[in-house]
Structure 1
Amino acid sequence: MTSAALLAVPAGLYIGHTGRGAVFAVGFGNALRALPTLGLVTLLALVFRGRVALVALTVLATPAVLSGTYAGIRAVPAHVVDAARGMGMTSRQRLWKVELPNALPLLMGGVRNAMLQVMATAMVAAYVGLGGLGQILLTGQRINDYERMAGAAILTALLAVLVDLVLAGLTRLVTPRGVFLAAGSGTTSRRRR
């Protein structure tokens, strides 16, 4: 997840701030989301061998983080950025002091989606011999141990809910009070830079 964030957040900030590469970001994100998870994990297991889990999870987490970051930056209302420009802020200052704080809720929403995708993929990864909680589920299925299967499924669901709650709390913690949320502004137009 960290590797996906290191790749996707800077790319999303750049694309959202400059408007360059927006078609690529949207197309790339949609293309990666359309890939079947089990097929991708199987292909990467054949190509990368030992590092397949890291590569697969990075590939699957990147689109959600990229889309969330890009959408968050683009959702900042034009008049908010124009006000910052009128105050004499440079392009970089507008990005870090105005756009990014306002984009954090959508950015963190992308991170939350990516984390859930990563957790689901980690379960599926057991089908190609990568272990994890999915291995407990597969073992239970092979020996018809329904209690083991139910335990693994419940544990995974609880873990996903817990991680999502932690990330929701983190979103509230890192989002500055008083940011201008575009959802309540009634403004959807975006200026060209």
Structure 2
Amino acid sequence: GTRAHHSGCVVWLHGVGDTGAGYAWLRKQMSQVLPHVKWRLPTGGLVPMTVAKGAYLRGWFDVKLFPITPDEPDDTARREAAIAAVHQIVMDEVAKGIPPERIVLGGFSQGGALAMWAAATCPNQLAGVVLWSSHAVSSVALQSAVAAGSNCSTPHLFCPLLGLEHPYDARLGIVPHC
């Protein structure tokens, strides 16, 4: 559809090793039932991944351990830069006339973690946050940011991929009680 009829936006963030274009199928499928929703599919940069012996993979920040645990060391500088980039996308869409309360942040795996962090620190209340098979990064700090932020009461949907819940999912505490 054309920009003129978009009244909402989903910013979808890919996981490690993927690209925004890897989710064109999702945009295509969802646009058939939600033609008024614009989809933004940004691509992260090449990041040296400790878990992959320093290999450069597309992503948002370094992954040091796998499986992810609540004690995962945080790549704060890259995470903060990625959050700022997501906030800029939100501001761009608001400037184009889409109200922040009609913008959803979502992502798969690391992209979901970034979506949660970006929502937690976004000054605007958003429509929602969707996490597919995701995890928390620096979960104690994230819980504090969510509880203190504009999106504490924003709906959050956490979906383990294909029902294959990771053993750590329940302990990562992605969404605190506000």
Q: Normalized per residue, which structure has more helix?
A: 1
Structure exhibiting the larger radius of gyration computed from Cα positions:
1
> Looking at both structures, which has the greater relative contact order when contacts are Cα pairs under 8 Å and sequence separation is at least 6?
1
Q: Normalized per residue, which structure has more strand?
A: 2
Same fold (TM over 0.5): no
**Please, what TM-score do these two structures have when normalized by structure 2?**
0.28
**Please, what TM-score do these two structures have when normalized by structure 1?**
0.26
